[in-house]
């Protein structure tokens, strides 16, 4: 599990193709599995075999660590379904180690499981920020909301505006300087991971889950409240969903760098 707060801007040192090419489907190119060698002195300082490191938002397993770089194997399917397939030696990548229990969660919960890829369609520089528009795959649009969180190339960002086929984010100078979004151009692909909580909610609603009803096969924790509600009176305890926001709560992050 990651936070979307990029720790280091790494670099692809080498790409070694392995195995047989995955059969191409109509409209797609074929791909072979590959072993990536990625320079990242900061994230490899305490890394060892078997650890996880997010590379442009894709969770990869460390195979070896040496001289400030690590190697990781990437399946052909991952190369086809993410922007990792477009990487070349010299490409810059966002790197993040997994979060630690008890540590700060500066972004939002990120799994490192890419849901799809988008394409940068517009960049509009401002006085102190830059607004970037990303074309959104239609199957992901329902998970993206104004002021919600989305992961773009491993960076936790706040959605400024969510459209039917796109979304916009506003990038501060620090994000532009310390992540790949400062060097990506219009037409470049980016990895997208939507907020996993939205997918859980959709799944629960699709199966007819009712707030307060409890899980199948379990007993409701507050039968008195349910009885009172059915009788037309207010339940004895207030729902957590009805409580007001905590005063002074921290705003959503603008963009993820540590």
| Residues 44-70, mean pLDDT to the nearest whole number | 96
User: Is the CB of residue 36 less than 8 Å from the CB of residue 43?
Assistant: no
Count CB-CB contacts under 10 A for residue 5.
22
pLDDT at 91 over 80: yes
Over residues 109-125, the pLDDT tens digits come to 888 999 999 999 999 99
* Highest-scoring range by mean pLDDT, 29-38, 157-166, 208-217: 157-166
Q: 187-209: per-residue pLDDT in tens?
A: 999 999 999 988 888 888 988 76
Of residues 223 and 144, which shows the higher confidence score?
144
pLDDT for residue 211 = 61
Give the Cα separation of 161 and 159 in Å (integer).
Answer: 6
Shortest CA distance to 176 belongs to which of 92, 255, 258, 93?
255
11-34: per-residue pLDDT in tens? 999 999 887 665 655 555 667 899
Q: Which helix (H) or strand (E) holds 55?
A: strand 52-55
Task: Say yes or no to pLDDT of 49 above 60.
Answer: yes
- In this prediction the pTM is 0.76
All structural domains of the chain: 8-21+30-96 (2.40.30.20), 116-198 (2.40.30.20)
């Amino acid at each position: 599990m990651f936070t979307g707060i990029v720790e280091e801007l790494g670099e692809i040192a080498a790409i070694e193709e392995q195995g047989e090419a995955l059969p191409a489907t109509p409209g797609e190119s074929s791909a072979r599995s590959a072993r990536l060698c990625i320079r990242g002195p900061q994230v490899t300082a305490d890394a060892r075999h078997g650890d996880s490191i997010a590379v442009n938002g894709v969770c990869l397993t460390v195979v070896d660590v040496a001289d400030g770089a690590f190697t990781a194997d990437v399946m052909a399917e991952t190369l086809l379904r993410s922007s990792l397939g477009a990487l070349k030696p010299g490409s810059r990548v966002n790197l993040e180690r997994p979060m630690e229990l008890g540590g700060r969660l500066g972004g939002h919960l990120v799994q490192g499981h890419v849901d799809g890829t988008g394409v940068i369609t517009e960049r509009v520089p401002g006085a102190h920020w830059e607004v970037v528009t990303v074309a959104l795959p239609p199957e992901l649009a329902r998970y993206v909301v104004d002021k919600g969180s989305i992961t773009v190339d491993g960076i936790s960002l706040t959605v400024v505006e969510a459209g039917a086929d796109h979304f916009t984010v506003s990038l501060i100078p620090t994000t532009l300087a310390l992540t790949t979004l400062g060097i990506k151009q219009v037409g470049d692909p980016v990895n997208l991971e939507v907020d996993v909580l939205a997918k859980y909610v959709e799944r629960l609603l699709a199966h007819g889950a009712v707030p307060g009803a409890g899980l199948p096969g379990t007993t409701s924790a507050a039968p008195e409240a349910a009885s009172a509600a059915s009788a037309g009176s207010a339940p004895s305890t207030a729902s957590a969903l009805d409580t007001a926001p905590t005063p002074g709560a921290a705003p959503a992050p603008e963009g993820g760098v540590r």
